[in-house]
Each structure stands twice: as structure tokens, then as C-alpha cells.
Amino acid sequence: MKAPLLRLVSRLCLTSFLAWLPLTAAAASAEVPVPPAAEILSTLHREHPRLLVSAEDFQRLGRRVQENATLKDWHAKLAEHGRRILDQAPSKYEIPDGLRLLATSRRVLDRVYTLALLHRLDADPRYAERAWKELEAAAAFKDWNPRHFLDTAEMTHAFAIGYDWLYDYWKPEQRDLLRVAMVEKGIKLANDIQSKNTWWAKAHHNWNQVCNGGIGMGALALADVEPAVAGEFLHAALKSIQLAMREYGPDGAWAEGPGYWHYATSYNVVFLAALQTALGRDFGLGEIPGFADAGLFPMYATGPIGRTFNYADGGDGTIRAPEMLWLARRFNRPAYARYQVPIASGTALDLIWYDPQIAQATAPEPPLDEYFRGAEVVTLRSAWNDQDAVFVGFKGGDNQANHSHLDLGTFVLDAQGVRWAIDLGADDYNLPAYFGNQRWTYYRLRTEGHNTLVLNPSAVPDQNPAAAAKIIKFESTPERAVAVADLSAAYAKQARSVQRGIALLDRQRVLVQDEIQADQAADLWWFLHTPAEIELAADGKTATFQRDGKRLRAQVIAPAEAKFSVMDAKPLPTSPQPEGQNANKGIRKLAIHVPQTGSLRLAVLLQPLSQGQGSSLTTPELRPLAEW
């Protein structure tokens, strides 16, 4: 069987045929109809608990915890966490940065989930009483910081779980206190935003899902006693959340990066899961094109050592995502569960969504390489389940995406258990105008702070903030994989055409090839950021990276006059020098500088060196990107 057909067959085993078919523009943008508020609530399960689990589900889980080794281990971890919470003081109203109560909201949410589930499973009143102290303290807050509405949504989520899962334990006056807090500090404020269609109600990014999902949990918890405000919100939320959910199309990726994929998807899943358990239906939201494939993205965006391709504002830590277990059950995708189970922290949602039959079901190994359309992200690798595998994450994308950096053409590289080429990730959100008119002055957000090309680096911004870049070629065979991005829009003021290709040759060596066509000379820089030590050859044509006893060799193949240099990971002297930004200690960058260049081809080969391997490199024959 030829490689392209083999790849297609493998893909069809992993996803449904309908999900793999090309989407028409009409199908991708079709609105899911939403019934009137009264009809939405007509199927409400009036008993509690009804959010994510029923009383019978809790009973079944209690039995399974005693029988299943994975659940038993997670329960032990959760119990250890819960015992620590028992000795901790309730949360206080704290806004350390002057803007966000978010850390407090998330602490309350974590504590309530942990304590409520432990009480349901272990019947220990200490957990319920401690949960009450947490909720009573937060109910007394002057507000839940609605100016940063994520804080309000996450706190409402916490109260919804506490109200619903411990409903039978609370006295009527306790339920009433929780109800009033959710309505007055959360749901009514959200209804006002939805009625005006402002801010997050019309957003296409994580704010939409977090706010709709968090407040939606409160509305579903109170739908029997507050049908008017709950129905009003759910009617609006079922419409609003579609704007963000369509961003998963066509194949599950997320333009805000893997970290914000987790944040957005966790709330999206919680909302849909609660709709199913509270109302018996999700009104067709789960069938929005691309959502069933959402679990593919963290799988492919995670390299062999557990670090993600962390483009945009995000860190590169492992994505521990309980929502993968729900997605696995909902769409019968065992691969999603197999991703999450080995790395799970044993949270409450891990326990309630784990299905051993799904997790242990057989499924074909996914294809090695993937191109996520729309997000314009490619990942290439030499193998799955091999910590020493070669992994490349490469992106085109859209500089206007929420949380984006000016990073079109950037890449990361793993090999031999080391991340050699890194993305520095986000800087401090509290830097002056970080999300405003100073954003493109900060090194980590500028093009020069990424592993890509810079033309005329003194410019602010140093890529066009309105530019988008498509992957114009993607090919995967057993022997090699290639991707080419058209970066021309990013450098339209400096060149007629800029393209970057990345090839994984023999599944071991990585070729980075850039082609620039320009009518006027430009100051060109090529950068690669690394935590490794770098030793340059005397002629500057090769560089040897060393880290953790491993080595990687870089070689300039073209043009003949280009040489490497090693620089600190900080702005060039001609670039902005804002105070307070991250100093990037311990990070160096391999650089190539070609001053006053016109049209040229720039090619660099990156090759891991095995133990005892000498300095000789096999140089590939260069071909124009158009012939790749």
C-alpha cells in the first residue's frame, strides 16, 4: 500500500469518515438552532446531583474505586490533597496584581471539587464541613471581580458544584446563601452582558467558553428554583458558545496555543457534559465540525518528553487534561484516554470521567505527522512512545489570533530527550500595556524572540501584526516529512516573497530552508533559542549544542557567506528595551546575520549526534521549496 493511502486508512481508523471529509464553508459556519428558554428547561432533571454525575453515578464510582487500580490510585491522591485542605484556612478576597481574583477563584474551585467528591465517596462529614467554610467565605466577598469576568465565571462554577454535589447535606438556609451568591454575583451580571452582546459574549476565544461554561454551571444548578434567570442565560449561552466552538474546525486545533486549548476546552466540555446530565441533551453543540477532533491537538502538540509546542502566550508544560477522558467517551476515541491516563493528576474530573473500557480499547497508532488546517500548525516526529524521538513543531498561523505573538514561521525541536530549540512563551501579563499598545515592544512577543526570520529588526512591530501565514505544502511518507509556510504577508514591507520549509529527513535530520525574494536590501537575522551550551567551529559554519550529555550539530548549508554567531536571548541594540521584561537567563540564541541582503536562499541542517558520533555531517542536496 502506498504511503499516502496508508496514511488515509490510518486516519480513518482514528476518526470518523464524516469528520475527515472536507468541510464546505456553509457546514463549517452553520448555526446550531437554540430553542426558547422554557423549552430548554423542559427536560430538566430536578433531582440533585445533576451536574456531570447523578447519585447513581457516584455510587457506581464508589464501587469502581475499590475494584480498579487506576481509580484506587487517583482516589488516594485526591484524599491526600483533601486532607491537606482540611488544615488550610478558607480563601480570602485577594487581588495581588490589582486586576485578577482568578487565583482565588481557581483555589475555591479546586477545593470544592476535591472536598465534595471525597464526601460523596467516603461519607466523611469533615470534607463537607470544610467545603462549607470555603463557600461561606467566598459568598461573603464584596463581589467576584466582574471587571475580569473569568474570575466571576470560575467562582460561579465552584458554587454550582458545591450546591449540587452536596445538596442533600446542606440545610435550606445554606442552599439559599449559595443560591443568592450565584444569582447576584454571577448569573445576573452575565445576563446583562449577554443581553448587550458585549465582550466575551461575542468572543471567539477562551473567554467565551470559560464565561459561558462557568456561569452555565450555575444556571443548570439553579434551574428549578431560578428558572427565569437560568433559562435566560442558557438560551443566550447556547448561541454564544457556538462562536468559539467553530474555531475547533476543521480538525480540532486551537489558534491560542496548547495551553489555552486546555483552558477553553475544559470549560467547553464541562458545560456540554452538564447539559447532558442536567437536561439529557447538548442541543447539537457536540456535533459542531472539529469538536470531536479536539483531542488530537494536545496529542500532536506534545513532544516525546512531554513538553508542548507552546506558541502564543503559554508555557511548555505537560497538558494534563481530564476533558480528554470525557472526549474519549463522548466520541469513542480511545487514543484520547490513553494520552491522559498516564499523566493524570488524579483530580475529581479524572475520577468521574475515567472509563476503563475506553482507556484499554485497542486503536491504531496515529500517523506520525499532522497538519492542522486553520490554525496552520504542523508537527513532525520520528516515532511515538520514544522519549528520544525527533519532534518538530512548526507554525504559520495568524498574528491576530487571541494571545498570539509575532511568531509566524517559528519552530521547536526535540531530540534525544532534550528540547534544543525552545519557545520562550509568555512574559508577565502585568507588564505595562502587555495586551495593549506596548505588546510588540516586549522581546518574548516580538519576532526576534522566536525561532524565525527577522527583516529590519528595529521596526516596531517586527512582523506585520495583521499578517497570516498558510501552510502551502505538507507531505508525510515513512522516509521523510515536509511542510512549507508562506510568510510573505508577515514581511510585506521588506520583501516580495518569504517562504520557510522544514523537512524531517530520514526521520532523523531537520532541514530549515528559507527563500526570500526582495527588490530592496534588508537587514536579515535568523534565530534559534536554546538552553544548551553552544560551541562554534572556527569557520562559523557549524555549531555543536551540548546539554544533559547529549549533542546536536547545526550546519549552515547556504548561502556560502553565512556564518553562525551566539548571542544572549535579549533585544538587539536597535530594538525596544522596555524595563521589567523577563531577562531569559540561561537561554542563548544561535544566530545568522546577513546585512543588506536581497533575494537569497538560507538553509540550516540540524542533526542529533549519537554517542561517539564524530563531527562529519551528510549534507543534503538543496532543492527549491517549490520542488519539495
| Residue 596, pLDDT score | 86
Average pLDDT over residues 326-354: 97
Helix axes 102-122, 149-165, angle to 10 degrees: 10
314, 437, 494, 472 alpha-carbon torsion, rounded to 10° = 40
Provide the residue count of the chain: 628
Average pLDDT over residues 333-355: 97
Residues 475-495 as b or e (16 or more Cβ within 10 Å = b): bbeeebbbbbbbbbbbbeebb
Instruction: Measure the CA–CA gap between 280 and 262, rounded to whole angstroms.
Output: 25
Task: Give percent above pLDDT 70 in the chain.
Answer: 94
* Nearest CA among 281, 266, 256 for reference residue 203: 256
Q: Which three cell numbers stand for residue 171?
A: 440545610
Instruction: Specify the 3-state DSSP secondary structure of 296.
Output: helix
Taking 60 as the threshold, does the pLDDT of residue 6 lie above it?
Answer: no
* Eight-state DSSP code of residue 266: H
Considering only 11-20, 134-143, 417-426, 482-491, which range has the smallest mean pLDDT?
11-20
When the pLDDT of each residue in the chain is averaged and rounded to a whole number, the result is: 94
Average pLDDT over residues 20-38: 64
What is the enclosing helix (H) or strand (E) of 546? strand 542-547
Residue written as cell 521589567?
580
Which residue intervals of 68-187 are DSSP H helices? 69-86, 102-122, 125-139, 149-165, 172-182
Average pLDDT over residues 273-300: 98
Taking 50 as the threshold, does the pLDDT of residue 13 lie above it?
Answer: no
Taking 50 as the threshold, does the pLDDT of residue 18 lie above it?
Answer: no
Q: Which pLDDT band holds residue 618 (cuts at 50, 70, 90)?
A: confident
Taking 50 as the threshold, does the pLDDT of residue 410 lie above it?
Answer: yes
Q: How confident is the model over 417-437, as pLDDT tens digits?
A: 999 999 999 999 999 999 999
| Residue 616, pLDDT score | 59
| Contact status, residue 178 vs residue 136, Cβ threshold 8 Å | no
Instruction: Measure the CA–CA gap between 185 and 438, rounded to whole angstroms.
Output: 33
Which whole-number Å values give the CA distances from 561 to 109, 120, 361, 593, 601, in the listed order?
A: 58, 70, 56, 10, 12
| Contact status, residue 153 vs residue 214, Cβ threshold 8 Å | yes
Instruction: Measure the CA–CA gap between 324 and 606, rounded to whole angstroms.
Output: 34
Fold (topology level) of 3-359: Glycosyltransferase (1.50.10)
Other CB atoms within 10 A of residue 385 CB: 7
- CATH 1.50.10.100 domain extents, the chain: 3-359
Q: Which long-range contacts (CB under 8 A, 24 or more apart) does 460-464 make?
A: 460/576, 461/406, 462/406, 462/575, 463/399, 463/406, 463/407, 463/408, 463/490, 463/491, 464/399, 464/489, 464/490, 464/491, 464/492, 464/493
Q: Which three cell numbers stand for residue 108?
A: 475555591
| Residue 29, pLDDT score | 56
Taking 60 as the threshold, does the pLDDT of residue 186 lie above it?
Answer: yes
| Residue 22, pLDDT score | 35
Helix axes 55-67, 102-122, angle to 10 degrees: 80
What is the enclosing helix (H) or strand (E) of 240? helix 227-245
Average pLDDT over residues 327-348: 97
| Residue 2, pLDDT score | 37
Instruction: Measure the CA–CA gap between 623 and 231, rounded to whole angstroms.
Output: 61
Q: How confident is the model over 449-466, as pLDDT tens digits?
A: 999 999 999 889 999 999
Task: Give percent above pLDDT 90 in the chain.
Answer: 92
| Residue 344, pLDDT score | 97
Q: Which is it for the CA torsion 49, 52, 57, 58, positive or negative?
A: negative
Average pLDDT over residues 369-376: 97
Considering only 17-21, 58-62, 309-313, which range has the smallest mean pLDDT?
17-21
| Residue 597, pLDDT score | 85
Q: How confident is the model over 434-447, as pLDDT tens digits?
A: 999 999 999 999 99
Pairing of strands 542-547, 550-558: antiparallel
What is the enclosing helix (H) or strand (E) of 58? helix 55-67
CATH 2.60.40.1220 fits domain 370-613+621-627? no
Taking 60 as the threshold, does the pLDDT of residue 25 lie above it?
Answer: no
Cα 289–chain centre separation: 18
Based on the number of CB atoms within 10 Å of its own CB, is 320 exposed (0-12), middle (13-18) or buried (19 or more)? middle
| pTM as predicted | 0.94
Show Cβ contacts of residue 169 under 8 Å, excluding neighbours closer than 6 positions.
Answer: 119, 125, 128
Q: Which pLDDT band holds residue 306 (cuts at 50, 70, 90)?
A: very high
* Nearest CA among 391, 387, 390, 389 for reference residue 378: 391
Instruction: Specify the 3-state DSSP secondary structure of 476.
Output: strand
- CATH 2.70.98.70 domain extents, the chain: 370-613+621-627
| Residue 459, pLDDT score | 86
Q: Which three cell numbers stand for residue 14?
A: 482514528
* Nearest CA among 534, 523, 527, 524 for reference residue 570: 527
Rg over alpha carbons for the chain, rounded to the nearest Å, is 26
| Contact status, residue 175 vs residue 167, Cβ threshold 8 Å | yes
Instruction: Measure the CA–CA gap between 266 and 153, rounded to whole angstroms.
Output: 13
| Residue 615, pLDDT score | 53
